[in-house]
Amino acid sequence: MDGGEGVGVHYDPRMNELLVDRRDDGVVVLTLNRPDRRNSMTDGMTEQWRRAVGDLKRDGDVRCVVVTGAGSAFCSGGDLSWLADRGAEDVPALRDRMLGFYRTWLSIAELEVPTIAAINGAAVGAGLCFALACDLVYAAEDAKLLVPFTSLGLHPGMAATYLLPRAAGVGVAREMLLTGRTVLGAEAAATGLVTRAFPRESLLAEVLGIASATAANAPVATRLTKVALAGGGHADLDAALRWESLAQPVTMATGDLLEGLAAQRERRAPRFGNS
Protein backbone atom coordinates (compact mmCIF):
# COMPACT_ATOMS: atom_id res chain seq x y z
CA MET A 1 0.00 0.00 0.00
CA ASP A 2 2.85 2.41 -0.24
CA GLY A 3 3.52 4.49 -3.31
CA GLY A 4 7.07 5.49 -2.50
CA GLU A 5 9.45 6.70 -5.14
CA GLY A 6 12.19 4.40 -6.45
CA VAL A 7 15.78 5.52 -6.06
CA GLY A 8 17.38 6.80 -9.26
CA VAL A 9 14.34 6.03 -11.46
CA HIS A 10 12.58 8.86 -13.28
CA TYR A 11 9.08 8.51 -14.73
CA ASP A 12 8.47 9.55 -18.33
CA PRO A 13 4.82 10.71 -18.57
CA ARG A 14 4.70 9.32 -22.11
CA MET A 15 5.35 5.83 -20.75
CA ASN A 16 2.54 3.29 -20.75
CA GLU A 17 1.74 2.38 -17.17
CA LEU A 18 0.69 -1.10 -18.30
CA LEU A 19 2.65 -3.04 -20.90
CA VAL A 20 0.82 -5.70 -22.92
CA ASP A 21 2.96 -8.36 -24.62
CA ARG A 22 1.07 -10.80 -26.84
CA ARG A 23 3.18 -13.87 -27.51
CA ASP A 24 2.86 -16.31 -30.41
CA ASP A 25 1.89 -19.21 -28.11
CA GLY A 26 -1.33 -17.55 -26.92
CA VAL A 27 0.21 -16.21 -23.70
CA VAL A 28 -0.33 -12.53 -22.91
CA VAL A 29 2.00 -10.85 -20.39
CA LEU A 30 0.71 -7.78 -18.54
CA THR A 31 3.48 -5.79 -16.85
CA LEU A 32 2.66 -3.09 -14.29
CA ASN A 33 4.97 -0.32 -15.43
CA ARG A 34 5.51 2.40 -12.82
CA PRO A 35 8.85 1.27 -11.37
CA ASP A 36 9.48 4.79 -10.04
CA ARG A 37 6.47 4.26 -7.72
CA ARG A 38 7.03 0.54 -7.17
CA ASN A 39 4.11 -0.09 -9.54
CA SER A 40 1.49 1.46 -7.28
CA MET A 41 -2.05 1.45 -8.67
CA THR A 42 -2.32 4.99 -9.99
CA ASP A 43 -5.47 6.31 -11.65
CA GLY A 44 -3.75 6.05 -15.03
CA MET A 45 -2.66 2.46 -14.49
CA THR A 46 -6.11 1.52 -13.20
CA GLU A 47 -7.78 2.87 -16.34
CA GLN A 48 -5.27 1.10 -18.59
CA TRP A 49 -5.86 -2.11 -16.62
CA ARG A 50 -9.63 -1.78 -17.10
CA ARG A 51 -9.25 -1.41 -20.86
CA ALA A 52 -6.68 -4.20 -21.18
CA VAL A 53 -8.72 -6.78 -19.27
CA GLY A 54 -11.81 -5.79 -21.26
CA ASP A 55 -9.88 -6.40 -24.49
CA LEU A 56 -8.66 -9.79 -23.25
CA LYS A 57 -12.22 -10.88 -22.42
CA ARG A 58 -13.13 -10.40 -26.08
CA ASP A 59 -10.00 -12.00 -27.55
CA GLY A 60 -10.60 -15.60 -28.54
CA ASP A 61 -6.91 -16.19 -29.29
CA VAL A 62 -5.77 -15.70 -25.68
CA ARG A 63 -4.95 -18.96 -23.88
CA CYS A 64 -3.22 -17.76 -20.68
CA VAL A 65 -2.48 -14.41 -19.00
CA VAL A 66 0.60 -13.62 -16.89
CA VAL A 67 0.84 -10.54 -14.65
CA THR A 68 4.15 -9.19 -13.32
CA GLY A 69 5.82 -5.92 -12.36
CA ALA A 70 8.54 -3.79 -13.92
CA GLY A 71 11.67 -3.12 -11.89
CA SER A 72 12.28 -4.49 -8.41
CA ALA A 73 8.67 -4.57 -7.15
CA PHE A 74 5.53 -6.40 -8.18
CA CYS A 75 2.99 -3.88 -6.88
CA SER A 76 3.07 -1.63 -3.82
CA GLY A 77 -0.72 -1.41 -3.73
CA GLY A 78 -3.03 1.56 -3.96
CA ASP A 79 -1.57 4.98 -4.70
CA LEU A 80 -1.60 6.66 -1.28
CA SER A 81 -1.08 10.18 -2.59
CA TRP A 82 -4.84 10.82 -2.65
CA LEU A 83 -5.68 9.45 0.81
CA ALA A 84 -4.78 12.60 2.76
CA ASP A 85 -7.59 14.49 1.02
CA ARG A 86 -10.27 11.86 1.52
CA GLY A 87 -11.80 13.71 4.47
CA ALA A 88 -13.45 16.01 1.92
CA GLU A 89 -15.64 13.12 0.68
CA ASP A 90 -18.49 11.49 2.55
CA VAL A 91 -18.72 7.75 3.15
CA PRO A 92 -21.17 6.94 0.30
CA ALA A 93 -18.93 8.66 -2.27
CA LEU A 94 -15.82 6.95 -0.93
CA ARG A 95 -17.61 3.60 -0.93
CA ASP A 96 -18.54 3.98 -4.59
CA ARG A 97 -15.00 5.02 -5.48
CA MET A 98 -13.40 2.10 -3.65
CA LEU A 99 -15.87 -0.47 -4.98
CA GLY A 100 -15.13 0.61 -8.55
CA PHE A 101 -11.39 0.45 -7.87
CA TYR A 102 -11.62 -3.04 -6.36
CA ARG A 103 -13.80 -4.40 -9.15
CA THR A 104 -11.55 -3.01 -11.85
CA TRP A 105 -8.43 -4.75 -10.53
CA LEU A 106 -10.17 -7.97 -9.51
CA SER A 107 -11.68 -8.28 -13.00
CA ILE A 108 -8.63 -10.47 -13.71
CA ALA A 109 -10.66 -13.23 -12.01
CA GLU A 110 -13.41 -12.87 -14.63
CA LEU A 111 -11.21 -14.04 -17.51
CA GLU A 112 -12.17 -17.49 -18.77
CA VAL A 113 -8.56 -18.47 -19.46
CA PRO A 114 -6.01 -19.38 -16.76
CA THR A 115 -4.29 -16.42 -15.11
CA ILE A 116 -0.88 -16.43 -13.43
CA ALA A 117 0.73 -13.87 -11.14
CA ALA A 118 4.55 -13.69 -11.18
CA ILE A 119 5.40 -11.79 -7.97
CA ASN A 120 8.90 -10.60 -8.82
CA GLY A 121 9.29 -8.32 -5.78
CA ALA A 122 7.33 -6.59 -3.06
CA ALA A 123 3.57 -7.25 -3.19
CA VAL A 124 1.89 -4.95 -0.69
CA GLY A 125 -1.73 -4.53 0.36
CA ALA A 126 -4.01 -4.34 -2.65
CA GLY A 127 -1.06 -5.40 -4.81
CA LEU A 128 -0.87 -8.77 -3.07
CA CYS A 129 -4.65 -9.18 -3.06
CA PHE A 130 -5.13 -8.81 -6.77
CA ALA A 131 -2.28 -11.28 -7.37
CA LEU A 132 -4.17 -13.77 -5.19
CA ALA A 133 -7.19 -13.36 -7.48
CA CYS A 134 -5.19 -15.15 -10.20
CA ASP A 135 -5.51 -18.91 -10.69
CA LEU A 136 -1.82 -19.59 -10.04
CA VAL A 137 0.57 -17.42 -8.03
CA TYR A 138 4.35 -17.77 -8.18
CA ALA A 139 6.77 -15.61 -6.20
CA ALA A 140 10.45 -14.86 -6.03
CA GLU A 141 11.86 -16.59 -2.96
CA ASP A 142 12.94 -13.25 -1.48
CA ALA A 143 9.84 -11.26 -2.49
CA LYS A 144 8.18 -9.44 0.43
CA LEU A 145 4.44 -10.08 0.80
CA LEU A 146 2.47 -8.03 3.30
CA VAL A 147 -0.93 -6.45 3.96
CA PRO A 148 -0.27 -3.48 6.30
CA PHE A 149 -3.74 -1.94 6.13
CA THR A 150 -4.34 -1.54 9.86
CA SER A 151 -0.94 0.09 10.41
CA LEU A 152 -2.14 2.81 8.03
CA GLY A 153 -5.41 3.21 9.90
CA LEU A 154 -7.33 1.39 7.18
CA HIS A 155 -9.65 -1.58 7.17
CA PRO A 156 -8.36 -4.19 4.68
CA GLY A 157 -9.61 -3.77 1.13
CA MET A 158 -9.37 -5.41 -2.32
CA ALA A 159 -11.11 -8.51 -0.88
CA ALA A 160 -8.18 -9.17 1.49
CA THR A 161 -10.46 -10.73 4.12
CA TYR A 162 -11.66 -13.23 1.49
CA LEU A 163 -8.61 -13.88 -0.66
CA LEU A 164 -6.02 -14.44 2.08
CA PRO A 165 -8.05 -17.00 4.09
CA ARG A 166 -9.00 -18.80 0.89
CA ALA A 167 -5.35 -19.06 -0.18
CA ALA A 168 -3.53 -19.85 3.06
CA GLY A 169 -6.18 -20.51 5.71
CA VAL A 170 -7.67 -18.36 8.43
CA GLY A 171 -4.66 -18.61 10.75
CA VAL A 172 -2.14 -17.20 8.28
CA ALA A 173 -4.64 -14.57 7.16
CA ARG A 174 -5.26 -13.43 10.72
CA GLU A 175 -1.57 -13.06 11.47
CA MET A 176 -0.84 -11.14 8.29
CA LEU A 177 -3.89 -8.86 8.52
CA LEU A 178 -3.84 -8.21 12.27
CA THR A 179 -0.08 -7.88 12.81
CA GLY A 180 1.08 -6.73 9.39
CA ARG A 181 3.89 -9.31 9.40
CA THR A 182 5.95 -9.55 6.22
CA VAL A 183 6.15 -13.01 4.64
CA LEU A 184 8.87 -13.86 2.15
CA GLY A 185 8.06 -15.76 -1.02
CA ALA A 186 9.67 -19.01 0.13
CA GLU A 187 7.58 -19.06 3.32
CA ALA A 188 4.47 -18.06 1.37
CA ALA A 189 4.92 -21.15 -0.78
CA ALA A 190 5.27 -23.35 2.31
CA THR A 191 2.01 -22.02 3.79
CA GLY A 192 0.06 -22.21 0.53
CA LEU A 193 -0.30 -18.44 0.20
CA VAL A 194 1.37 -18.77 -3.21
CA THR A 195 1.62 -21.80 -5.47
CA ARG A 196 5.43 -22.06 -5.61
CA ALA A 197 8.53 -19.91 -5.16
CA PHE A 198 11.55 -19.64 -7.46
CA PRO A 199 14.86 -17.76 -7.29
CA ARG A 200 14.22 -14.19 -8.39
CA GLU A 201 16.52 -14.43 -11.39
CA SER A 202 14.65 -17.40 -12.86
CA LEU A 203 11.09 -16.53 -11.79
CA LEU A 204 9.78 -15.05 -15.03
CA ALA A 205 11.37 -17.74 -17.20
CA GLU A 206 9.82 -20.44 -15.00
CA VAL A 207 6.41 -18.76 -15.08
CA LEU A 208 6.48 -18.26 -18.85
CA GLY A 209 7.30 -21.94 -19.27
CA ILE A 210 4.33 -22.86 -17.09
CA ALA A 211 2.12 -20.42 -18.99
CA SER A 212 3.21 -21.81 -22.33
CA ALA A 213 2.46 -25.38 -21.24
CA THR A 214 -0.93 -24.29 -19.89
CA ALA A 215 -1.75 -22.42 -23.11
CA ALA A 216 -0.95 -25.56 -25.13
CA ASN A 217 -3.73 -27.56 -23.44
CA ALA A 218 -7.21 -28.00 -24.92
CA PRO A 219 -8.96 -24.61 -24.54
CA VAL A 220 -12.53 -25.81 -23.87
CA ALA A 221 -11.42 -28.40 -21.32
CA THR A 222 -9.15 -25.83 -19.65
CA ARG A 223 -11.88 -23.19 -19.37
CA LEU A 224 -14.41 -25.65 -17.98
CA THR A 225 -11.84 -26.88 -15.46
CA LYS A 226 -11.25 -23.29 -14.34
CA VAL A 227 -15.00 -22.90 -13.79
CA ALA A 228 -15.11 -26.13 -11.77
CA LEU A 229 -12.34 -24.90 -9.47
CA ALA A 230 -13.74 -21.38 -9.01
CA GLY A 231 -14.24 -20.36 -5.41
CA GLY A 232 -12.27 -23.31 -4.09
CA GLY A 233 -14.14 -26.07 -5.93
CA HIS A 234 -17.51 -27.76 -5.48
CA ALA A 235 -19.59 -27.77 -2.32
CA ASP A 236 -19.50 -31.56 -1.99
CA LEU A 237 -18.78 -34.81 -3.82
CA ASP A 238 -22.21 -35.07 -5.43
CA ALA A 239 -21.98 -31.51 -6.78
CA ALA A 240 -18.63 -32.38 -8.35
CA LEU A 241 -20.03 -35.52 -9.96
CA ARG A 242 -23.03 -33.66 -11.35
CA TRP A 243 -20.83 -30.98 -12.87
CA GLU A 244 -18.31 -33.44 -14.31
CA SER A 245 -21.00 -35.68 -15.78
CA LEU A 246 -22.12 -32.67 -17.82
CA ALA A 247 -18.79 -30.94 -18.52
CA GLN A 248 -16.91 -34.06 -19.64
CA PRO A 249 -19.44 -34.91 -22.39
CA VAL A 250 -19.16 -31.31 -23.60
CA THR A 251 -15.43 -31.84 -24.17
CA MET A 252 -16.11 -35.21 -25.77
CA ALA A 253 -18.06 -33.37 -28.47
CA THR A 254 -15.11 -31.13 -29.42
CA GLY A 255 -12.47 -31.75 -32.05
CA ASP A 256 -9.88 -31.35 -29.31
CA LEU A 257 -10.66 -34.81 -27.94
CA LEU A 258 -9.91 -36.44 -31.31
CA GLU A 259 -6.72 -34.40 -31.63
CA GLY A 260 -5.62 -35.31 -28.11
CA LEU A 261 -6.16 -39.03 -28.72
CA ALA A 262 -4.41 -38.86 -32.10
CA ALA A 263 -1.44 -37.05 -30.58
CA GLN A 264 -1.15 -39.65 -27.85
CA ARG A 265 -1.34 -42.46 -30.38
CA GLU A 266 1.24 -40.83 -32.66
CA ARG A 267 3.50 -39.85 -29.74
CA ARG A 268 3.56 -36.14 -30.60
CA ALA A 269 2.44 -32.90 -29.02
CA PRO A 270 -1.23 -32.10 -29.65
CA ARG A 271 -2.20 -29.12 -31.79
CA PHE A 272 -5.43 -27.86 -30.28
CA GLY A 273 -7.64 -25.25 -31.94
CA ASN A 274 -10.14 -22.88 -30.39
CA SER A 275 -13.07 -25.29 -30.64
pLDDT, tens digit (0-9, with 9 covering 90-100), for 219-248: 999 999 999 998 788 889 999 999 999 999
Fold type of domain 18-82+92-215 = 2-enoyl-CoA Hydratase; Chain A, domain 1 (3.90.226)
Cβ neighbours of 262 (radius 10 Å): 12
17-26 long-range contacts, Cβ below 8 Å, gap at least 24? Answer: 17/42, 17/44, 17/45, 17/48, 18/45, 18/48, 18/49, 18/52, 19/70, 20/52, 25/63, 25/212, 25/215, 25/216, 26/61, 26/62, 26/63, 26/64, 26/215
- Closest of 182, 112, 119 to residue 146, by C-alpha: 182
Closest C-alpha among 36, 30, 31, 32 to residue 4 = 36
Determine the 3-state secondary structure of 157 from DSSP.
coil
- Write the DSSP assignment of 189-204 as a string of letters: HHHTSSSEEE-GGGHH
The model carries a pTM of: 0.90
Render each residue's pLDDT in the chain as its tens digit; 275 residues. 443 333 333 444 446 999 999 999 999 999 999 999 999 999 999 999 999 999 999 999 999 999 999 999 999 998 877 666 666 778 888 889 899 999 999 999 999 999 999 999 999 999 999 999 999 999 999 999 999 999 989 999 999 999 999 999 999 999 999 999 999 999 999 999 999 999 999 999 999 999 999 999 999 999 999 999 987 888 899 999 999 999 999 999 999 888 888 888 999 888 887 65
What is residue 2's predicted lDDT score, i.e. its pLDDT?
A: 41
- Model pLDDT, residue 50: 97
Start-end of H helices in the chain = 43-57, 91-106, 126-132, 160-168, 170-179, 185-191, 203-215, 219-229, 237-252, 255-266
Per-residue pLDDT at 1: 42
Query: What Å distances lie between residue 86 and 7, 92, 156, 158, CA to CA?
Result: 28, 12, 16, 18
Query: Are 16 and 33 in contact, with CB atoms under 8 Å apart?
Result: yes
C-beta of residue 193 within 8 angstroms of C-beta of residue 167 = yes
- Given this model, what pLDDT does residue 15 score? 60
Q: Are 130 and 108 in contact (CB under 8 A)?
A: yes
Q: Where are the domains of the chain?
A: 18-82+92-215, 217-266
User: Which residues, other chains included, contact 98 with Cβ-Cβ below 8 Å and sequence gap of 6+?
Assistant: 157
Q: How much is the pLDDT for 11? A: 41
